[in-house]
Structure 1
Amino acid sequence: MKVATNMHERRRAEMYACGAWKDMIITDYLDRAVAATPHKTALVGYRVQAGDRTVLTYGELNQRVTRMAAGLAALGVGPGDVVSCQLPNWWQMNALFLACVRIGAVINPLMPIFREHELRFMLAHARSRVLVIPQTFRHFDHRQMIQGLRGELPNLAHVLVVEGDGEQSFERVLLERAWETECDTGRLFAERRPSPDDVVQVIYTSGTTGKPKGVMHTCNTLLSHIRPFCERHGLSEGEGILMPSPLAHQLGFLYGLMTPVYLGASVILQDVWNPLFAVQIIAEERPGLTLGSTPFLADLVEVATEHHQQLSSLKTFISAGAPIPGALVEKAASLLDTRIVSAWGMTENGAVTTTRPEDPMHMAVISDGLALPYMEVKVVGEEGQELPANQEGDLLVRGSSQFVGYLNQPELYNVDAEGWFPTGDIARMSADGYIRITGRSKDIVIRGGENIPVVDVENMLYKHPAIKSVALVGAPDPRLGERLCAYVTLHDGTAQPLTLKDLTDYLLEQQLTRQYLPEYLEVMDELPRTPSGKIQKFKLREMAKELFLDRKIHA
């Protein structure tokens, strides 16, 4: 099945002409690494709760990729078919993506925190042919959850369970049978080789319309970001990359899954975040780079006083997802031999801007960086006019790593004729091109680097029998960036007071992901509104700012 995109010939021609896009796909870099250094460590996987460690060389990784790719093809997965996976940071995720590319299939990574509410929509919308899940992760039974959804997913032909048993066992179906001996894999992979402009990834992002959107990327859009990113930060095949951020998030996918293969470097995966366990990993594996949202950095800094020497190999921490508090950077500078780099981006583009290694440390506090090569940003006013330096306005972006559309929703591809994409962020730009995100026009809250789909959660709360009106906003938090606050009014005659537990219990009954639950509730007589009746969320955000100061929300 060919996946329809919003790709235009003009953009393709321009990107090839400027050298941003090349005739390469990610498995070309895997082949290069296998040929050059087959015995080099490609991946080290730590499973915190299981207490085990898996090591794969490039040769071993390629063998598993080959077998899995041939096995998927034998299961009926064809070019353009979607293979979804709800996996933690386990080696199976890395291998599954590469296997999909080998046969022209599309990977659809799903966050392990998603539950029935999110998966019911995403798996149906993507028309997923195969789903790979863990049996259990963090004491949650994923297999049981999916069994309850199968009847609603007519396109889902196969569910494969890592460490499962019986006919659904991932190991039994894809690894124990020597699929590569039952077909000519060289011919199969040559026939199925995707174009660099074919979709290889669909990843869902929380929007403002109440439902997630499936962002589509090609090898060209993804690799045209990775190349200049690695060049700016001096990354090479000798780099060890620690990846504790979820591989199912674009940050983890780009830098924990694709970048190591592109470089021929080693990646160290940690499946459950625990800062003391991360200290042990860093001491053992000696990575030079890690990436994550602000909470990862804050937690590492907290343990650095007693473990400074064990963290000495970590030379660069690239932080994205929320502004980095100045006090945190100062503390990190005093406790770690690590340069802090700030970055800004989105699922639709990957990282668009970053500070540079040669920039003064304080730039990571006051700025979200400078656009990478092949990317452009501009700040515009209400009439679309480009604004002078240091004036706030809407942030627009265009360039090589821009996505190629939303799956099955071409009408939502809000890119103008010149290629500019409205990010939904408010920003200002300095005279030398550094941007600073100052707010959002999009109605989202970002908690720990994860977008909360505010409109979707509000729509669920409007169905609560006691709630008349509701508005969700973020309260600033020094560790997580924001915490979700609910402001509601109740129907006349509501007998019982509404508590935060009532609210969260109701949302859990609706099968909402726990990470999307409000952490503060205030029942009001009236919500602030404009004369036309629109809720004035900016006033609620001002109220929410006081919550942390008043200790009504605790860090």
Structure 2
Amino acid sequence: MDFDAVLIAPRRAASIAAGHWQDRTIHDYLAACVRDRPDAPALTALSIDRQHVTRFTRRELARMADRVAVGLSRLGIAAGDVVSCQLPNGWHLSVLYLACARLGAVLNPVMPIFRERELSFMLAHAQSKVVVVPKLFRGFDHAQMLRGLRDALPALRHVVVVDGDGDDSFEALLSGPHWEDGADAAAILQRSRTGPDDVTQLIYTSGTTGEPKGVMHTANTLFSNIVAYAGRLHLGGDDVVLMASPMAHQTGFMYGLMMPVMLGAHAVLQDIWDPVRAAALIRDEGVTFTMGSTPFLTDLARVVADSGVPVPSLRIFLCAGAPIPGALVEQARQALGAKIVSAWGMTENGAVTTTLPEDSDERASTTDGCPLPGVAIRVVDGTDTDVPVGETGRLLVRACSNFGGYLKRPQLNGTDADGWFDTGDLARLDADGYLRIAGRSKDVIIRGGENIPVLEIETLLYRHPAVAQVAIVAYPDARLGERACAFVVPRAGQSIDLDGMVDWLKQQKMALQYIPEKLVVRDALPATPAGKIQKFRLREMLVGDAGFI
């Protein structure tokens, strides 16, 4: 595929001159790891779903990456091709990325929660040639789902099944045969490796304009962020990084897959969030750093406090995805003995702001941090004029890690000639330059760190025979930050209840996590004179005197 990453070339000279783009790829970092300490632990993957632990040294990880790369080439994968995977956190996903980069191919990780509706768009848009899925994950048959989609995906050549029992299994096609020992292996592994400005990752954001957008990143954009991030948090080769946040999101991919390789650190992966197992992993593996959204922090702090068994190795828990309540920072600090760092970022940039480990604990609950090195931010009004300190405006970001653009949608890139990217979020800055996200101009609900595509769900509900009008808004939740509530006006003579709404959305193959968890039926919805639904008033109803919560 020809990737239209139009935002890369105009920035190259300045980014190189400033030292932000160092022209190093994942191969350079992995080769250094193997050269320096080949038998040091590189990757430990716990599969709670399969009750199994897999371990790789640096040498073993590099060898498996070679093996899978040659196996992919046997399936017809070459430079510029897209390999999609719908995998939980685990060694297969990590190795796939390393293998794709060896071929100049692009990895497209997609969330395991996605079903036919989301996948049919993403895989067709990306023109994916190979898709790797688990046979079963959390009781769902992903292989059967993908086979059912094949006829609608003309570019798709192979569905490869992890733990499959046929000729299409990951083990039979990729990880079993010693492909790396073939006579042509060396040539395959060297002829078209991903360069620092080639697209290496394609990752989809939840759509707010009717469809998801494919975010294109290169080694330079990704590593320019990771280097700054690790430097601020004082992370190095002696650290052990636990990643239970999904690696199909930037959080897991950048800081659980790429960062440990860059640092020469030990990565510990967990496929299903279980705070009891996470606490045990931290103790058993000597984990020093982890990150996740607020529910992860809440759960881990509670488990450690209730058990009375400490996690002394843990030094930093970075929390992002939603504001951290002050009480939680205090409770987690006490229970875990770790510094709680808050952060904010986007798929398009990675982390944009973080608090510093040297900051007071209060900073983590009252701000989302200050910009990382290589990042500049502005808060502006409707005329793009900077607003005074403390006032709310639109958040613009100019970063060394800014993405290459949206695949096949350059008109949506949202980046001006001076490199300022319009995040679509509202924010304010304090006198010290610390950011606080104040809301979203995009109509998205963030449930446990997962963006819910409101417009898409509303569109589906409008097709329900009983629905005349619908609006979906967020309501606060102590654990997940937000949940979704659907306000519905039924058609004359029709009725709808929560079970009926949920069943309808399931029939449309909507991801379960996207389905609203509350339904309010009304005779009418508040609207402007022009007929636009006033969602702010619906939110007020949910938390105000109407008593719905």
The answer to whether TM tops 0.5 is: yes
**Match status 1:532 vs 2:530:** yes
Which residue number in structure 2 is paired with residue 169 of structure 1?
169
Matches within 5 A, 1:105-116: 105-116=105-116
* Structure 2, gaps ≥5 residues long: none
Does 2:419 align with 1:398?
no
2:206 paired residue number:
206
Aligned to 2:53: 53
Equivalences for residues 94-109 of structure 1 within 5 A: 94-109=94-109
Q: Distance in 2 between matches of 1:32 and 1:356?
A: 29
2:379 is aligned with 1:379: yes
Counterpart residue type for residue 532 of structure 1? A
Residue 14 (structure 2) pairs with residue 14 (structure 1): yes
How big is the shift at 1:308? 4.2
Q: Map 1:219-298 onto structure 2 (within 5 A).
A: 219-298=219-298
- In structure 1, the partner of 2:362 is 362
SS at match of 2:397: strand
Q: Which amino acid aligns with 1:298?
A: T
Deviations 1:224-276 (A, max 9, x none): 00001011000000000111111111100011100000001001111111111
**Distance between the aligned counterparts of 1:546 and 1:515, measured in 2?**
26
Residue pair 2:310, 2:336 contacting (<8 A) in 1 also: no
Q: Which moved more, 1:500-509 or 1:42-51?
A: 42-51
Q: State how far apart, in whole Å, the 1-side matches of 2:359 and 2:148 are.
A: 52
Structure 2 CA distance for aligned equivalents of residues 248 and 418 of structure 1: 30
5 Å-filtered alignment, 1:464-543, equals 464-494=464-494, 497-543=495-541
Alignment-mate amino acid for residue 424 of structure 1: G
Q: Distance in 1 between matches of 2:308 and 2:344?
A: 28
Letter of the aligned partner of 1:269 in structure 2?
A: L
Cα distance between partner residues in 1 of 2:191 and 2:96: 19
Deviations 1:445-476 (A, max 9, x none): 00000000110111000000000110001001
Contact 1:204 1:213 in 2 (8 A): yes
Partner residue, 1:322:
322
* Distance in 2 (alpha carbons) for counterparts of 1:183 and 1:422: 50
Question: Do structure 1's residue 155 and structure 2's residue 160 form an aligned pair?
Answer: no
Letter in 1 for 2:152: E
Shift, 1:187, TM fit: 3.0
Q: Quote how far apart the aligned CAs of 1:436 are.
A: 0.3
For the residues of structure 1 that align with 2:397 and 2:33, how far apart are their CA atoms? 33
What is aligned with 2:303? 303
Counterparts of 1:341 and 1:152 in 2: how far apart (Å)? 45
Deviations 1:359-416 (A, max 9, x none): 0011000000000000111100111101121111000001110000111111211111
CA distance in 2, matches of 1:52, 1:187: 35
The whole-number CA distance in structure 2 between the counterparts of 1:382 and 1:266 is 46
Q: Is the 8 A contact 2:425 2:440 kept in 1?
A: yes
Asked whether the 8 Å contact 2:427–2:438 carries over to 1, the reply is: yes
Change (3 A) 1:8 1:173: closer
For residues 39 and 168 of structure 2, what CA distance do their matches in structure 1 show?
32
Pairwise CA distance, 1:323: 0.4
Q: For 1:507, give the aligned amino acid.
A: L
CA contact under 8 A between 1:279 and 1:307: conserved in structure 2?
A: no
Higher mean Cα deviation, 527-536 or 309-318? 309-318
- Deviation of 1:9 (Å): 3.4
Distance 1:546 1:301 in 2: 30
What stretches of structure 1 of length at least 5 have no aligned partner? Answer: none
1:68/1:175 contact within 8 Å kept = yes
Does the CA contact (< 8 Å) of 1:280 and 1:310 recur in 2?
A: no
**Counterpart-to-counterpart distance in 1, 2:59 and 2:8:** 38
Residue 11 of structure 1 aligns to a residue whose secondary structure is: helix
Residue aligning to 1:140: 140
TM-superposed deviation, 1:523: 0.8
Q: Distance in 2 between matches of 1:537 and 1:454?
A: 12
Name which of structure 1's ranges 70-79 and 258-267 shifts more when overlaid on structure 2: 70-79
Q: Given the superposition, is the C-alpha separation of residues 67 and 483 from structure 1 closer, same or farther in structure 2, using an over 3 Å criterion? A: same
1:426 alignment partner in structure 2 = 426
| Structure 2 letter corresponding to 1:180 | E
The one-letter code matched in structure 2 to 1:499 is D
Name the counterpart of 1:186. 186
Further displaced range: 279-288 or 444-453:
279-288
Deviation string 1:5-33 (CA, Å, 9 cap, x unpaired) is 12353311111110100121111100110
CA shift, 1:334, in A, is 2.2
Compute the displacement of 1:540 (Å). Answer: 1.0
Q: Any idea what SS the aligned residue of 1:195 has?
A: coil
Provide the rounded CA distance (Å) in 2 between the counterparts of 1:236 and 1:368. 23
CA distance in 2, matches of 1:8, 1:37: 34
Matched with 1:215 is: 215
What amino acid is aligned across from residue 42 of structure 1 in structure 2? A
For the 8 Å contact 1:308–1:336, the answer to whether it is kept is no
1:332 corresponding residue in structure 2? 332
C-alpha RMSD over aligned residues: 1.3
Shift of 1:65: 0.2
Q: What are the within-5 Å matches in structure 2 for residues 29-48 of structure 1? A: 29-48=29-48
Q: Secondary structure at the match of 2:432?
A: coil
Q: Counterpart in 2 of 1:453?
A: 453
The DSSP-based 3-state class of the residue aligned with 1:161 is strand
Distance in 1 (CA, whole Å) between partners of 2:236 and 2:347 is 24
Matching residue of 1:24 = 24
Whichever residue aligns with residue 323 of structure 2, its letter is: P
Contact kept, 8 Å, 2:489 with 2:525, in 1: the verdict is yes
- Assess, with a 3 A threshold, how the Cα gap between structure 1 residues 302 and 8 changes in structure 2: closer, same or farther: closer
Q: Per-residue deviation at 1:194? A: 2.0
- 2:287–2:313 contact (8 Å) kept in structure 1: yes
After the TM superposition, which of the residue ranges 72-81 and 339-348 deviates more from structure 2? Answer: 72-81
Deviations 1:318-338 (A, max 9, x none): 001000011111111222211
In the aligned structure 1, how far is the partner of 2:199 from the partner of 2:305? 46
| Cα shift at 1:546 | 4.2
Per-residue deviation, 1:477: 1.1
Q: How does 1:345-356 map to 2 (within 5 A)?
A: 345-356=345-356
- Residue 120 (structure 1) aligns with: 120
Q: Which moved more, 1:356-365 or 1:201-210?
A: 201-210
Structure 1: 4+ residue segments shifted above 4 A: none
Q: Is the 8 A contact 1:70 1:183 kept in 2?
A: no
**What is the letter of the counterpart of residue 237 of structure 1?**
G
**After the TM superposition, which of the residue ranges 46-55 and 107-116 deviates more from structure 2?**
46-55
Distance in 2 between the 1:321 and 1:420 partners? 22
Displacement of 1:545 in angstroms is: 2.6
DSSP-derived class of the 2:406 partner: coil
SS of alignment partner, residue 405 of structure 2: coil
CA distance in structure 2 between the aligned counterparts of 1:290 and 1:105, rounded to whole angstroms: 29
Q: Judge conservation of contact 2:8–2:197 (CA < 8 Å) in 1.
A: no
> How many Å apart are 1:204 and its aligned residue?
0.3
Q: Measure, in 2, the Cα distance between the counterparts of 1:195 and 1:110.
A: 23
3-state SS of paired residue (2:191): helix
Aligned residues: 549
Cα distance change on mapping 1:106 and 1:316 into 2, 3 Å = same
